[in-house]
């Protein structure tokens, strides 16, 4: 994936690796949630890029841990975090589509009932009253279809877009390097 598409790099500076992760999360390092501010920063950067870009996160750390392979641990933690977020958004998408199907069924029943009632009233009411009742019930019936139409035409796209971005972040190359403490042109998270 990384050879065929242009690569975009985000550089983060931290004093120590634990700044990247939610300090209240008791799970093991590889399954830790990213710190909310760090997560928002990374996602806003990734959302602004074309979907065909390969992503590279370079994390400049002032105090690298003495033991273990920091790059492997951080890369694994970032990839696991976004794999988890992909599943969350897929769950949101499934719920939205289930709501869309239910809304469509309810909307269709309601619009049919309104149209049938409009026809029945047209044969009972005199002149202008029949026309007003018919038009009103027709409009009300079709307005009931607004929600399923909104879900199936518009609401699912942003969720699919977030899944694509998170998928890209899940596959991002992650580098952890010793920070040059003399340079401060990159923000410290």
pLDDT values of the chain reduced to their tens digit, one per residue, 189 residues: 455 778 899 999 988 888 888 766 656 555 668 888 899 999 999 999 988 889 999 999 888 777 667 778 888 889 999 999 999 999 999 999 999 999 999 999 999 999 999 999 888 888 898 889 899 999 999 999 999 999 999 999 999 999 999 999 999 999 988 887 555 454 545
pLDDT tens digits for range 134-186:
999 999 999 999 999 999 999 999 999 999 999 999 999 999 888 875 554 54
Three-class DSSP labels, the chain: CCCCCCEEEEEEEECCHHHHECCCCCCCHHHCCECHHHHHHHHHHHHCCCCCCEEEEEEEECCCCCCCCHHHHHHHHHHHHHHHHHHHHHHHHHHHHHHHHHHHHHHHHHHHHHHHHHHHHHHHCCHHHHHHHHHHHHHHHHHCCHHHHHHHHHHHHHHHHHHHHHHHHHCCEEEEEECCCCCCCCCEC
State pTM to two decimals.
0.77
């Amino acid at each position: 994936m990384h050879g065929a598409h242009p690569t975009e790099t985000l550089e983060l500076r931290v004093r120590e690796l634990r700044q990247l992760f939610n300090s209240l999360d008791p799970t093991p390092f590889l399954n830790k949630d990213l710190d909310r501010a760090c997560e928002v920063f990374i996602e806003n950067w990734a959302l602004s890029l074309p979907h065909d870009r390969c992503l590279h996160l370079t994390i400049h750390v002032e105090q690298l841990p003495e033991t273990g392979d920091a790059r492997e641990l951080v890369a694994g933690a970032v990839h696991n975090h976004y794999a988890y977020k992909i599943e969350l958004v897929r769950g949101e998408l499934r719920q939205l589509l289930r709501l869309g199907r239910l809304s469509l069924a309810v909307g269709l029943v309601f619009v049919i009932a309104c149209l049938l009632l409009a026809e029945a009233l047209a044969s009972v009411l005199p002149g202008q009253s029949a026309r007003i009742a018919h038009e009103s019930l027709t409009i009300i019936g079709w307005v009931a279809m607004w929600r399923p139409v909104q879900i199936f035409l518009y609401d699912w796209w942003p969720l699919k877009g977030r899944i694509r971005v998170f998928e890209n972040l899940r596959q991002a190359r992650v580098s952890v390097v010793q920070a040059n403490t003399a340079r401060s042109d990159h923000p410290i998270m």
